[in-house]
């Protein structure tokens, strides 16, 4: 049986167009490099941060950037660079986890809607339309406010806002793939719908989903920062980029470094993910691929 | 066309009801219940009971649901538990500020975004295209509040050209000065978005046969681009700008908070800080209704400018 599966799916796996396009598009390497740096900074934060991100030092409160505090200190005398590095861990993990949940739930729903069709499809797509009629930030804000501010609730709130797009992204190619001969062949061999969806359809539409995931992760990090700025993020004293800007905002007239550095961190992370997502999308989309 | 319009309008009704159902479920996600969340853990039993009765929380879920839907559909969005005014009154009070801001942003976005996108499409893979794409990528990467804060820092704190806080004022000049930074912030994000959509839409149209025919007939390039191509490229742009409305609202909320500008953003923040759940729920419904309305109107406009749509449906 495994042999049959193998021979049924192999014709679909050609030379990976994504890798080829990435190799050609030099711009995308800026995104990948930037992202790798940020990821490394987040992973190594406890080792490379010059100071404890929570350690208060009232004598040195609000010191501007200097040789001792590279990016200055905040109103409690905490080292901004150390907080920034630790903040990367929260931003990236909230972004990654929420998109992962949204991707798994959304793609499963999308594949089922596309494959089963009929009234189930209509029901799911109706729900998707409704979800999309809530402004992303407001939906996240509402859910986070209702559940209460914590790491887990933030992940849930952002995942809820991003599930609907994945349903759409998974459904359209599923409908295209399910008409192909190898799916018919699978059906005639008596494979269960679950097996057809999981083993035969999913690998064929995975690249579409992954591209969207990188773009939505950019959006998730933006939402996380925005919610933290409003006061619905991971609660203090934990260092989050949005939260740092929120605290620094009170001192914006005297201590610019409190808002500028976390702002740059958010911007660079989102930018890197967007560059990567764009390059991947160009690679997948035959319309833009042929033009290059 | 008429038939399509009626069908599209009727379609909005189930979406509205489903949206209300979702808000109803969301509000019931509150750990404990809304009464405990509003009054705090140490509230007396009598106070909790009174508030539950007032909010209708002592009735069965089915009754609560029916009451909620009928209330909302009849335009009764509840009363703020802080100011005592109705949600609609509160919204009406600040709506002009937000609409003014959103309108200015759309104007700025269209004014800069369409030329930027058109130039990029006509000079594809040359430096104007790269500059335009880089700018729009940058604009799309900024969370609304980050760009707002950086602009505030640059123009209000360092250069001191414009006021830091936008207080309500009756002087029209000051009123405009207050509007400049928030409108620029939202407008530039919008520009990035419109430029990107215009570029891809123009590229699609420029590949059409009738453009090649026009070019072969010797139509001047400027006329070809402005009249023949852009006219048709505008159709998807209209839709996309309509769909962007939800994001625009989200960004305007953040922008208003940064610039301490009166508006829906401050209203939401206030409701959040005072745990005014009736207000939050009402605002959510008002916003989502707005988005559904705009989407419906966008679809109708789309059908109006593109005759193919009504046949297709």
pLDDT per residue as tens digits for the range B237-287: 877 777 777 778 778 888 888 888 888 888 888 888 887 878 888 888 888
User: Which residues of chain B make contact with A126, given a CB cutoff of 8 A?
Assistant: 14-15, 18
Percent of chain B with pLDDT over 90: 2
Nearest by Cα to B199 from A126, A143, A48, A282: A282
Q: By the CB < 8 Å criterion, does A30 face chain B?
A: no
**Intra-chain end-to-end CA distance of chain B, in Å:** 10
Output the pLDDT for position B308: 65
pLDDT of residue A17: 61
Long-range contacts of B266-270 (CB under 8 A, 24+ apart): B266/B94, B267/B90, B267/B91, B267/B94, B268/A138, B268/A141, B269/A230, B270/B82
Q: Tokens 């994001």, residue? A: B247
Q: Mind telling me how many Å the CA of B48 is from chain A's nearest CA?
A: 18
How big is chain B, counted in residues?
A: 313
Chain B closest CA to A222's CA: distance in Å? 6
Q: B64-69 contacts: CB < 8 A, separation 24 or more?
A: B64/B24, B65/B21, B65/B24, B68/B20, B68/B24, B69/B17, B69/B20, B69/B21, B69/B24
The whole-number pLDDT of residue B309 equals: 59
| Chain B residues within an 8 Å CB radius of A292 | 125
d(CA A95, CA A89): 10
Per the prediction, chain B carries an average pLDDT of: 81
The answer to whether residue A267 neighbours chain B at the CB level (below 8 Å) is yes
Q: Which of the two residues, B311 and B70, has the higher pLDDT score?
A: B70
B312 pLDDT band (50/70/90 cuts)?
very low
pLDDT digits (tens, 9 = 90+) for B152-164: 888 877 887 777 6
| Residues in chain A closer than 8 A to B150 (CB atoms) | 259-260, 263
- ipTM of this predicted structure: 0.80
What is chain A's length?
292
Alpha carbons B87 and B92: distance in angstroms, whole number: 9
Closest to B264 measured CA to CA, from B241, B299, B291: B291
> What integer pLDDT is reported at residue B53 of this predicted model?
76
Residue B66 is predicted with a pLDDT of: 86
Confidence band for B34, pLDDT divided at 50, 70 and 90: low
What does the alpha-carbon distance between residue B208 and residue B220 come to, in Å, rounded to a whole number? 17
Mean pLDDT by 10 residues, chain A (292 residues): 45 57 73 89 79 74 73 76 87 92 93 89 86 82 83 90 89 84 82 82 83 86 90 83 86 83 91 85 59 35
**How far lies A122's CA from each of A118, B76, B155, B190, in Å?**
7, 30, 50, 32
- The predicted model gives B170-186 an average pLDDT of 80
Examine the pLDDT at B77 and tell me if it is beyond 50: yes
Measured between alpha carbons, how far is A206 from A103 in angstroms, rounded to an integer?
11
Neighbouring CB atoms inside 10 A of A192's CB total 11
Cβ distance B22 to A267 less than 8 Å, yes or no, reads no
What number is the average pLDDT over the span B176-199? 87
Return d(Cα B233, Cα B122) in angstroms, integer: 13
- Contact (Cβ atoms closer than 8 angstroms) between residue B149 and residue B258: yes
- pTM (2 d.p.): 0.82
Output the pLDDT for position A11. Answer: 46
Chain A residues within an 8 Å CB radius of B19: 130, 133-134
Q: How far is A255 from chain B (nearest CA, A)?
A: 10
- Residue B86's SS3 state is strand
Q: B141 to chain A nearest CA, in Å? A: 5
Chosen from B102, B134, B143, B265 to mutate, greatest number of chain A CBs within 10 A = B143
Q: How far is CA A176 from CA A119, A205, B95, in A?
A: 19, 10, 45
DSSP state letter for A235 = P
| Model pLDDT, residue B28 | 76
Q: How many CB pairs under 8 A join A and B?
A: 125
Cα separation, B145 vs B158, whole angstroms: 18
Contact criterion met (CB < 8 Å) for A130 and B22:
yes
Q: Is A259 on the interface with B (CB under 8 A)?
A: yes
């Amino acid at each position: 049986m495994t042999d049959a599966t193998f021979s049924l799916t192999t014709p679909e796996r050609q030379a990976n167009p994504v890798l080829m396009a990435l190799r050609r598009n030099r711009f995308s390497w800026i995104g990948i490099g930037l992202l790798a740096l940020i990821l490394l900074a987040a992973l190594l934060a406890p080792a490379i941060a010059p100071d404890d991100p929570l350690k208060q030092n009232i004598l040195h409160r609000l010191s501007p950037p200097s040789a001792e505090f590279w990016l200055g200190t905040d109103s409690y005398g905490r080292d901004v660079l150390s907080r920034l590095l630790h903040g990367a861990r929260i931003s990236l993990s909230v972004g990654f986890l929420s998109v992962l949940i949204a991707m798994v739930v959304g793609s499963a729903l999308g594949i089922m809607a596309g494959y089963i069709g009929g009234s189930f499809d209509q029901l799911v797509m109706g729900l998707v339309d409704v979800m999309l009629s809530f402004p992303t930030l407001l939906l996240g804000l509402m859910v986070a406010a209702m559940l209460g501010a914590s790491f887990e609730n933030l992940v849930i709130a952002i995942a809820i806002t991003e599930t609907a797009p994945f349903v759409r992204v998974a459904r359209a190619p599923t409908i295209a793939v399910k008409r192909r001969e190898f799916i018919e062949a699978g059906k005639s061999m008596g494979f269960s719908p679950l097996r057809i969806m999981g083993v035969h359809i999913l690998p064929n539409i995975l690249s579409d989903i992954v591209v969207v995931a990188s773009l939505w992760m950019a959006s998730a990090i933006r939402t996380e920062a925005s919610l933290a700025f409003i006061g619905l993020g991971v609660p203090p004293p934990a260092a989050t980029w949005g939260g740092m800007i929120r605290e620094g905002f009170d001192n914006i007239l005297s201590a610019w470094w409190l808002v500028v550095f976390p702002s740059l961190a958010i911007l660079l992370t989102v930018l890197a993910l967007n560059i990567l997502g764009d390059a991947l999308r160009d690679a997948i989309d035959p319309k833009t691929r042929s033009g290059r | 066309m008429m038939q399509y319009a009626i069908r599209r309008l009727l379609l909005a009704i189930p979406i509205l009801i489903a949206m209300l159902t979702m808000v109803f479920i969301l509000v019931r996600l509150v750990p404990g219940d809304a009464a405990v969340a509003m009054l705090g853990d140490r509230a007396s039993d009598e106070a909790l009971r009174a508030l539950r009765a007032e909010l209708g929380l002592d009735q069965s879920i089915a009754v609560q649901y029916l009451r909620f839907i009928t209330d909302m559909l009849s335009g009764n969005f509840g009363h703020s538990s802080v100011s005592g005014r109705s949600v609609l009154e509160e919204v009406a009070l600040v709506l002009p500020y937000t609409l003014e801001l959103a309108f200015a942003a759309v104007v700025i976005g269209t004014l800069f975004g369409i030329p930027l996108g058109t130039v990029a499409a006509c000079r594809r893979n040359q430096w104007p295209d790269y500059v335009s794409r880089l700018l729009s990528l940058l604009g799309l990467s900024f969370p609304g509040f980050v760009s707002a804060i950086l602009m505030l820092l640059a123009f209000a704190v360092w250069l001191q050209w414009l006021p830091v806080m936008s207080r309500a004022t009756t002087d029209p000049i000051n009123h405009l000065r207050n509007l400049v930074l928030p409108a620029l912030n939202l407008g530039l994000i919008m520009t990035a978005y419109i430029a990107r959509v215009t570029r891809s839409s123009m590229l699609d149209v420029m590949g059409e046969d009738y453009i090649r025919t026009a070019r072969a007939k010797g139509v001047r390039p400027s006329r070809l681009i402005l009249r023949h191509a852009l006219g048709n490229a505008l159709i998807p742009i209209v839709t996309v700008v309509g769909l962007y409305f939800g994001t625009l609202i989200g960004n305007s909320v953040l922008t208003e908070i940064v610039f301490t500008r009166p508006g829906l953003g401050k209203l939401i923040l206030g409701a959040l800080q005072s745990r005014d759940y009736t207000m939050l729920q009402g605002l959510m419904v008002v916003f989502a209704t707005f988005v559904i309305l705009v989407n419906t109107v966008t679809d109708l406009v789309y059908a109006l400018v593109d005759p193919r749509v009504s046949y297709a449906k």
